[in-house]
Structures are given as C-alpha cells and as structure tokens.
Structure 1
Amino acid sequence: MKYISSDIKQYTQAKEYIDTAILPLIPYTFKSDQDLLQLSVQKDLIQLYVSQIENELKGRVFVLPEYNYLKSDKIQEDEKGRLQNLLVHLEQQPFKYIFLITSDNKWRKITKDMEAELIWIPAMSDTDLNQQETQQLVQSQVKEIQSLIKDSWED
C-alpha cells in the first residue's frame, strides 16, 4: 500500500495486518547540473525498486511518502534527529518492521543505532531505466530485497 487516498482507505480497515513500513530516503540538490541529474536518476531508481517491492508484498507493507533531504558532504545532526523522530512515530503505529531504502551510503553509519533496517541500493550513473539489462538487474535485486524483508518477518 502507498500513501494515496485509495490505499489509505484500505489501510485503515486492515492496519493490523500491515506491519512493515518502507521509507525511501531521497536526497536532492541544485548545487550543479551534474548532481541534479545524478540524484534525479537515483530517485527514479529508488522509486522503481520500491514500486516493485510494494507490488509483490502488497497487503503486508506500507510505502511511506519519500523522506527528502538536502544532499551535503555529510548528513547533519538535525537530519539524523528528524529521521529518528519519524522512526519513533512509526514505531508507535502498528509497524513492527521499518525499512529505509536509499542510494546514499552516508546513511549506513548513521542508521546503525536506529530501530530500522537500511537497504542500500548502489547508485547508477545516468542510465536508461527502461533498458533491458537495467530492468533485469533491478528485478534480480528486488527479489533479494524481498527475501530480506520476508526473513525479518520470520525472526
């Protein structure tokens, strides 16, 4: 389920069965045209992953609105605090499992002590997401991510 009105209506009636939240962490910047292009490709890629994961695990996962933040050389303390506050809020909901998905490897160190599991997707350069090779790679990795999520349900 996604954060759209039609899914929210279903969610409110079945929330006791939806125990997994997926939160895309999406950086942005207008620092340079190159950064702008690279981050927009990463955003598209993360959206593709999340969409395919949600389609396969529908009825058990809820995809939250994107968590957007300004890209910098290092993730600022206030950004860490903002994410931590959001995670505390989500834990108070019926979400037993929370997955963060991003292409920004700077989150790896920061989220170690948080009550969420980070899924890091290696960034791709300016690539056509509709190319067959890219689609096959994404499909393969989505299956791995789905296995990771399903394994967490068994713990």
Structure 2
Amino acid sequence: MKWQATEMDTYLQAKEYVDTAIITLVPVSWQTEIKQTVAMGEFISIMATELEKQFHGRVIQFPAFSYIKSEESPSRLARLEKWEAELKAGGVKHLVYLTSDSEWKLVENELNGMLIWLPTIPLEHMDVSYKREVISDQMKQLIPLMTNKWQEA
C-alpha cells in the first residue's frame, strides 16, 4: 500500500497482515552533484514503487526520508530513530530502507531495520522497454531479500 488516503481504508481493514514499512532514504543537494543526487532519488523511488506493487497488502510504502546530503550522520540517524519509534509503536514489525546513497552502508548496523542499497542506474535516456527490463532484473534480486527477511522473523 502507498501513503495515500484511499489506501488507508484498505490498511485499516487488513491491518494485521500489513507488517512491513518501506522507506526510501533520499538525499537532497542543491550545491554539488545535483543531477546525480536527483537521479539517486528518482531511481530508488521507482524501485520502492515496484516493490510495493509486488507485496501489496503486506507492505506500506511510506514517504521518503529526505535529508540534506551534507547533514551529519548522527543528526540523520537521530531523526530516523524517531520514525522507527513511531512506526514500531504503531505495530510495524519490519522496516526496510531503500537507498542509492552508499553513505548509509557506513551506519547500517545502527539502523533498526534492513538496509537495501542499490547503485543508481540512470534511467533517463533508456527506452521504455529496456527500462522495464532493468527494473524487472532489480526486482528479481529484491524479492528474495524481502521474503527471507520475513522468514527470519
């Protein structure tokens, strides 16, 4: 399910089955590496949407956790911990973070969820059929990660 009012009716009716939050970690920069930063966010948003489609009814795709690229890691983590506390208090059992920002790999052990880092694949100049193929290939790798996460619990 997505973070939309129309989807929340469904969530409220089937809340016991929805136990996983998908949160994209999206950097923002308006001074350096602007295009690369935008491409990161665009790519990871597409992947999150596709993941939500695959597991609709089991996951909720939350709004992106956005941060200034130059924000210090402790500050970023403190803000994210508040999200984690809110979601856990609301009954979310599994947190899945998607990002193309490799800096998150440095603090992965401090997260209370599973971090999935995907290198950005520039989709802007691809034709539609090739873009679909690339996304499909990525999904073939993500789906087992998700199902393994649930089996561990």
TM-score exceeds 0.5 = yes
- Post-superposition offset of 1:80: 1.1
What is residue 19 of structure 1 aligned with on the other side?
Answer: 19
Change in CA separation of 1:97 and 1:137 when aligned onto 2, cut-off 3 Å: same
Partners in 2 of 1:63 and 1:125 — Cα distance?
22
Instruction: Find 1:52's aligned residue among 50, 57, 69.
Output: 50
Q: Which runs of 5+ in 1 are unaligned?
A: none
Helix, strand or coil for the counterpart of 1:25?
strand
- Aligned partners of 1:54 and 1:85: how far apart in 2? 23
Q: Give the 3-state SS of the residue equivalent to 2:121 in structure 1.
A: coil
Q: Which residue of the partner structure matches residue 90 of structure 2?
A: 93
**What CA distance in whole angstroms lies between the structure 2 residues aligned with 1:130 and 1:31?**
30
**1:22, 1:63 within 8 Å by CA — same for their partners in 2?**
yes
Identify which range, 95-104 or 36-45, moves more after superposition. Answer: 36-45
Distance in 2 between the 1:66 and 1:153 partners?
22
| Corresponding pairs, count | 152
Deviation at 1:53, TM superposition (A): 0.8
**TM-superposition CA deviations, 1:93-130 (whole Å, max 9, x none):** 22111100000011112131321000001023574354
Cα distance in 2, alignment partners of residues 127 and 105 from structure 1: 21
Could you say what the CA RMSD is over the residues aligned between the two structures, in angstroms?
A: 1.7
In structure 1, C-alpha distance between the alignment counterparts of 2:133 and 2:6, rounded to whole Å: 30
Percent of pairs identical after alignment? Answer: 26
CA 1:21–1:129 in 2, change beyond 3 Å: closer, same or farther?
A: farther
Structure 1 residue 145 and structure 2 residue 142: aligned? Answer: yes
TM-score after normalising by structure 1: 0.89
2:44·2:100 contact (CA, 8 Å) conserved in 1?
Answer: yes
AA at the equivalent of 1:11: Y
Q: Is the 8 A contact 1:24 1:101 kept in 2?
A: yes
TM-score by length of 2: 0.90
1:97–1:116 CA contact under 8 A, matched in 2: yes
Which residue is 1:117 aligned to?
Answer: 114
Q: C-alpha displacement at 1:132, in angstroms?
A: 3.7
Q: Tell me, which stretches of 5 or more residues in structure 2 are unaligned?
A: none
Give the secondary-structure state (helix, strand or coil) at the position aligned to 2:53.
helix
How do 1:55-134 residues align onto structure 2 when only pairs under 5 Å count?
55-72=53-70, 75-125=72-122, 127-128=124-125, 130-134=127-131
* Aligned pairs (5 A) from 1:25-40: 25-32=25-32, 35-40=33-38
Deviation at 1:139, TM superposition (A): 0.9
Change (3 A) 1:91 1:85: same
Give the Cα separation in 1 of the matches to 2:87 and 2:23: 10
CA deviation digits over 1:66-94, x for unaligned, max 9?
1110012x743111111112112211222
